[in-house]
Amino acid sequence: MRTIIIIILILSLAGNIIGAYFIYKALKLRGEIRQYQRYHADLKAKYEALKADFAGIAVYENENRRLLEVTTAEQRKKMTVLFGASITKGLDAEKYFPGKGIINRGVGSQSDVQLLARFSSDVLNLAPGKAVIKFCSGNFNPKANLQAMWSEYEIMAMEAARHNIQPLLATVLPATRGAEEYSDYSIAAQVRDFNKRIEAFAAAQKLQVVDYYGALADKNGFLPDSLARDAIHPNENGYAVMAKTLQPILE
């Protein structure tokens, strides 16, 4: 009898363990399904947003309208627009440049084509005194058309100057060594070459350069891990270096 009771207890315990395991797996699966659903919904929302407004013109549309209503042309001539993608968006103007009249017009995950498409609405129409024009290393990959990318950068700089806006040409930040994931393509080399074009163009046109690359890159042309949040974005230490680089140019 005692043996039977022990066997029953063992089987009961085993059943409870198996039951608990299946409950755990069911809960985990449900969590994964919810996570996938959230991811899918987010992806769909981004797709719909891109389809409706590829350039991202609507992102700052209301802020631009308000700024034009509450300021005069003379007041805006004392302001500077920071124009770019996610790295620009992350640069906290109020923290680093209080009272300097900085207008941040960074939009995350934007390509060079998208930047060019919204340059008029977020820079030219505001008619600030200065505009910091910046591309991200995230745009550099084996399929990127570097000549087209350069043409877009050059067009923005020249259009700003033509509209009496001083273009401040920001060099592209280096990516980390971990971003070098291609066997026959170097992001670091392409970023370095692109920045050389910026410097040569600035010298020829007598334009000012904001040399973020020179301030952040290590001796091998990479963004040090101590200044990086991920493969292409700076952390707070990196942003502090960027702000220190830009500060004297804004004076």
DSSP-assigned states of every residue in 178-195:
GG---SS--HHHHHHHHH
**Sorting pLDDT into bands at 50, 70 and 90, what band is 44?**
very low
Average pLDDT, the chain: 89
CA distance 79 to 81: 7
Q: What is the pLDDT of residue 28?
A: 67
Q: What is the pLDDT of residue 239?
A: 98
* Percent of the chain residues past pLDDT 70, beyond the cut: 81
Q: What is the pLDDT of residue 42?
A: 45
Q: Is the pLDDT of residue 191 over 90?
A: yes
**Sorting pLDDT into bands at 50, 70 and 90, what band is 17?**
confident
Q: Is the pLDDT of residue 19 over 80?
A: no
* Dihedral angle of Cα 50, 54, 59, 60, to the nearest 10 degrees: 180
Encode pLDDT of 120-168 as tens digits.
Answer: 999 999 999 999 999 999 999 999 999 999 999 999 999 999 999 999 9
The whole-number average pLDDT for the span 28-56 is: 56
156 within 8 A of 166, measured Cβ to Cβ: no
Where does residue 81 fall: left (phi above 0), alpha (psi -120 to 50 degrees), or beta otherwise?
Answer: beta
Fold (topology level) of 72-250 = Rossmann fold (3.40.50)
Q: What is the pLDDT of residue 53?
A: 80
CA distance 55 to 44: 17
Q: Is the pLDDT of residue 49 over 90?
A: no
Q: What is the pLDDT of residue 34?
A: 58
- Residues with Cβ within 8 Å of 83's Cβ and at least 6 positions away in sequence, in order, are 105, 106, 115, 119, 122, 123, 131, 132, 133, 134, 156
Residue 235 is encoded by which pair of tokens?
């952390």
The whole-number average pLDDT for the span 85-105 is: 97
Q: Is the pLDDT of residue 4 over 80?
A: no
Any idea where the domains of the chain sit in the sequence?
1-52, 72-250
Higher pLDDT, 1 or 243: 243
221 within 8 A of 232, measured Cβ to Cβ: no
The whole-number average pLDDT for the span 30-59 is: 60
CA distance 108 to 88: 8
Residue 195 is encoded by which pair of tokens?
């920045």
